[in-house]
Structure formats: structure tokens, C-alpha cells
Structure 1
Amino acid sequence: MANLANTMEANAAAILQGEGAEDSLSRVPRTLAAFRKADPPVFNGSTNDTEADNWFRAVERALLNEHVPYDKFVEYATYQLVGEAQQWWQGERRLRHQQNVNITWALFGEAFYRKYFHELLREARELELLQLKQGSMTIAEYTSKFEGLYRFSKISQGTLESCEE
């Protein structure tokens, strides 16, 4: 999970650094109200691992597109949690504050994936990826299936060293 956190921080930093080509007015940090007007998705705590991953990626993309300051990512993203997910986050946040832990975007992502995408699910997806055969699927179907499984793999998460088992 530490590698996932490092990868997420590096991805966000790289994207934020790459914004220099835009004019300075388009990079003005957005308020929470402006971010919400962009209509980022909400997450209710679905146990569907793909829905959880889709939500996380969509919110991260919205945060970057709206030029939200990195130190506000967690605040803005967690505003999009509702129902069970909001209750989970309130408890998680309270626990982290009691431990005097600074909650970064990477730490939030690590906690989110630990809660909504259990390691056993990730391992099952990786095994399915390793055993994937085209069979009677068309190339387009096979590619779609491969990409759907690959996005959950350790390699796509930037943790190649954990694949050397």
C-alpha cells in the first residue's frame, strides 16, 4: 500500500507540474463551490470494486482539472462521500486526527482502497489477468477485458518490485 501511496503522490505532482503551459488565470485555485459546479461524482460506499475505483479516478481527475490545490484534495474529495462512505470517512478521519496524522491525498487513497478494494480482490483480479486467454473473444473484447483487469494490477499501480515474487 505504501507503493500505491507514493505512486498517487507522484502522479498528482507530475500532473500539477505539467500545468505550466497554461495561462496563469486558468490555473487559479478553485473554491469548493466551483469544484462542486463541475459536478464530480458522489460515492455512497458501494462494495463494487470497479465503482469504487472509477469514483476515485474521476474525483482525482476533477480535482486536477479544476486546479484544486493539492492540500485541499482530501477536503474536496471527501465532500463527495455520502451515506455509508461518509460515515466510514468520519470515523477514519477521527482516528487519524487522534493519532496526530496529517491526512494527505496519498494517505486518503490508501485508506480508501484498503476499505473499498480489499487486497484479496486485487490479487484475484491479478490472477485473472495472468490467466486471461482470448479464446472466442474478439480482439476488441479481449483488449477491453485485459485493460479492465490491468488497471488493478501491481504493475499499473507502479509497484513493479512487488511483482518480483
Structure 2
Amino acid sequence: MDASTSKTEEVSGVDMFERFQRLRPPSFSGALDPVLAKHWLNRMAKMMRSLGCSDAQKVILATYAFEGEADIWWEGMLRRVSSDYEWTWTEKKRFNEKYFPSCYHHEKISKFLKLEQGNMTVPQSEAHFDELSRYVPKAVEDEEYKLKKFKEGL
């Protein structure tokens, strides 16, 4: 790689960082509340989509927002792999393993499967359905199944 290519990539990275900062990204300190962790990760993913980041940029920018315990955890992750390892956004599963444990995820799936309207209004029930359906994306990909499941809960 010649010097001009390196300089172009560096400027592009700096520009992306400035655009990211203008969005005022939320920091993440390692909250043990899975809802907060999932909310933070979803918000970051939304920002990354709006910026059109590469996979590598997503990791760099998101982990820049780590503070406190989360930053310590990330530094440990970096020490466990070789320095030339290329982190990708698909490895957000490591974040989920740490801050959104599978037992919590399974609890949300169970709540989705048992969801009933009860004393909620239809709009409240729909909002609750949509919120829980995020944890079972494969199940609600099929619009017909999704509608059937929603009607069963009414």
C-alpha cells in the first residue's frame, strides 16, 4: 500500500468519526440491565446504518463509546486476540453474551409465546407484541404467522 492510499483511508476514518460524534452517541458503561444493553446496541446499530459505516468502522466507533466496566471488558477482549485480528460488527454476539445473557433472551421468547392481551388495550397489546417480537425475528418473518400469533393473544 502506498502512502497516498494510507492517507486517504485515514482521512475517511477521521471524517466518519466526526460524523459519528455529531450524532451524539450514547456511552455504555457496562450496565448489567439487559434492557439497557440491548437498547444501547440497537441505538448504535441505527447510527451505524445512517452513517453507512464499514464493519470495521462500526466496531471502532461503537467501542469508542464504552466507558468504565465496559471499556475494561473490551480491553480484555483485545488482549485475547492477536493484534492483526480484524473485528467485525457480526461479533456483537460477544457483547450480547456479556450484557444480554441467553437466559434473559429465552425469558423474552417465552413471554412472546405466552403473550395475551389481558387488560391491555389493543394498541398497548400491539406495542407489547412488537417489543417482544424483536427477540424472535425468525418467528415473525412470516407475516401470516405473525398476524395469527397476534390474533391468538387478543
- TM-score of Structure 1 vs Structure 2, range by shorter chain: 0.7 to 0.9
- Counterpart selection for 2:107 from 112, 124, 134: 124
How do residues 81-160 of structure 1 correspond to structure 2 at under 5 angstroms? 81-97=66-82, 101-107=85-91, 109-153=92-136, 155=138
**Structure with greater contact order relative to length (CA < 8 Å, sep ≥ 6):** 1
Give the letter for the 2:67 counterpart.
V
Residue type of the partner of 1:131?
K
Aligned to 1:70: 55
Q: Decide whether the 8 Å contact of 1:96 with 1:103 is kept in 2.
A: no
Distance 1:113 1:156, change over 3 A: farther
1:3-49: CA deviations, max 9, x gaps? Answer: xxxxxxxxxxxxxxxxxxxxxxxxx8743133112111111111121
**Taking structure 1 as reference, are residues 81 and 156 closer, same or farther at Cα in structure 2, changes over 3 Å only?**
farther
Match of 2:16 in 1: 31
Quote the sequence identity (%). Answer: 26
Partner of 2:144: none
Tell me the residue number matched to 2:45.
60
Instruction: Tell me if 1:80 matches 2:65.
Output: yes
CA distance in 1, matches of 2:140, 2:71: 26
TM-score w.r.t. length of structure 1 = 0.70
CA distance in 2, matches of 1:86, 1:157: 35
Task: Mark the runs of 5 or more structure 2 residues left unpaired by the alignment.
Answer: 1-11, 142-154
Tell me which stretches of 4 or more aligned residues in structure 1 moved more than 4 Å: none
3-state SS in 2 of match to 1:51:
helix
Rg larger in structure: 2
Structure 1 unmatched ranges of 5 or more: 1-27, 159-165
How well do the aligned residues superpose, as a CA RMSD in angstroms? 2.2
When the two structures are aligned, how many residues end up with a matched partner? 129
Match of 1:48 among 12, 28, 33: 33
CA distance in 2 between partners of 1:105 and 1:71 (Å)? 7
Separation (CA, whole Å) in 1 of partners of 2:138 and 2:34: 18
Q: Work out the CA distance in 1 between the residues paired with 2:93 and 2:139.
A: 15
Deviation at 1:86?
A: 0.9
Task: State TM-score, norm by structure 2.
Answer: 0.74
